[in-house]
A and B are shown apart, each in its own frame.
Chain A
Amino acid sequence: MKKVLYFPTEKKESWQSFIELKVKELKRGLIEINSGNWQLKCRDIIYLKNLCERYNLTIVSINSYIPETIISANSLGFESSLELEFAEKSKRTFDNEIINSLQSPSTFFHQGTLRSGESLDVNEDLLILGDVNPGAIVSAGGNVMIWGRLLGIAHAGKHGNDHAKITALQLRPVQLRISNKIARGPKEKPEQGLAEEALIEEGVIVIKPAKNS
């Protein structure tokens, strides 16, 4: 039997104490979490997971109206889905930057994993839903966003745009290229569940935790 745990609808109180009470009531089993209009960061989800484990509950999936919550849940390896109909209704205003990057007609969208030997070369921004495996090359005139792992080579701003960024849920590339700069990928593995972005700062390519995650 799967139970659904809803977050409080009113935003006055903090959710932690509310959820802890709810979790105490449920005893062992599978639960689905619906976080409603709350934005959860990775550390919030880890807190939830630990809380549930203490009461012998297993989280099956995490659903939300907020895309950022889904990104965090996904990057921690949870099943999650965006409840779209409600998301439209919710009055929350999205970050302009996200809206632009998702809606602008100049974004090329690719779904599926790029395997060794395959390549994708576009003039617009590039959004990939899937992994880029070692041996694969993606390049874009604008930004490169990968909802998955980047293990191959990515080139952003190939026409010389120094402001282009490369973002991935897991950034572990063989090589990174932005504009005319080239950098080798980091040797050490990045922290799990931390989306990262690469950009040019003071003439060199640096990797930082991604914003909005």
Chain B
Amino acid sequence: MTSDTRVILICSGKGGVGKTTLTANLGISLASKGCPTAVLDADFGLRNLDLLLGLENRIVYTAQEVLEENCRLDQALVKHKQQPNLSLLPAGNPRMLEWLKPEDMQKIVEMLNDQFQYVLIDCPAGVEDGFKNAVSASKEAIIVTNPEVSAVRDADRVIGLLNTHGVKPVQLVLNRVRPKMMQSQEMLSIDDVTDILALPLLGLVLEDEQVIVSTNRGEPLTLVGSNSPAARCYSNIASRLQGEEVPLIDPAKEGSSLKDKFRRLMQTKIF
């Protein structure tokens, strides 16, 4: 398993576009498809991948202790209860930022290489040291962006930096797509975004209130087998990452079928 481990960086440049949510859901999806997957929180300053996965209270050791050789790697890895194929390597305390070097990050990822098929790195926002550390350890990348001018601009900058670091291939996930706004051209269209970024589109994720609910509960959507739009999108992305061909969701058709309308109606009554 050592050589074909895929180390994938999930980054965006701008904050709040859905890096961590994508990491958590993609991790669960890949794990449930039978691939041993590790998610690594590289956002040391503002860590919250553990929150999204609902693993906060089970963290004993972190990446920091592993690097200081105060514990073994398998002691620090937190296995997900419902999805044992998924493990989280938590970020250490925020002061790690001061001394962590790209070599340390590479060391951690090398250790994970032996045990896992996929290593997903949740990259911090911005393009400073934290980003550089994370990039140095990864082989390929997924750029997350929203159909907004500022997010696209930042993503463009990050793609340029990834190119200079030789990270390949770089794929694109367009997050928080609102079909209605796209149709009425109030939002950047898919073509507008891919035109500027010139990257292969790995998938779309539709805007979905369920994402917020699941984040607050610490249960990623893909874990609970939800059939909400975003959950389907995440699971499609995981399939495509494994090389399957899954057609893109057409935002124009999404939400217009009777079934979808009925489901929305049901949800509004319940919550």
Residues of A within 8 A of B (CB): 113-118, 131, 133-135, 151
Contacts and interface: CB of A to CB of B under 8 A. Distances in A.
Contact of B198 (A116, A131, A135): A131
Contacts of B157: 115-118, 135
Contact of A118 (B153, B154, B160, B198): B160
B126 to A, nearest CB: 12
A108 to B, nearest CB: 19
Interface in B116-157: 153-154, 156-157
Contacts of A134: 153, 156, 196
Interface string B16-56: 00000000000000000000000000000000000000000
A115 B152 CA distance: 11
B159 interface: yes
A117 B198 contact: no
Interface of B: 153-154, 156-157, 159-160, 163, 196, 198
Contacts, number: 27
Contact of B159 (A115, A131, A151): A115
Nearest to A112: B163
Nearest to A151: B196
A134 B160 CA distance: 13
B185 to A, nearest CB: 13
Nearest to B13: A116
A135 B157 CA distance: 8
22 contacts: A113-B198, A115-B156, A115-B157, A115-B160, A115-B163, A116-B153, A116-B154, A116-B156, A116-B157, A116-B160, A117-B156, A117-B157, A117-B160, A118-B157, A118-B160, A133-B196, A134-B153, A134-B156, A134-B196, A135-B153, A135-B157, A151-B196
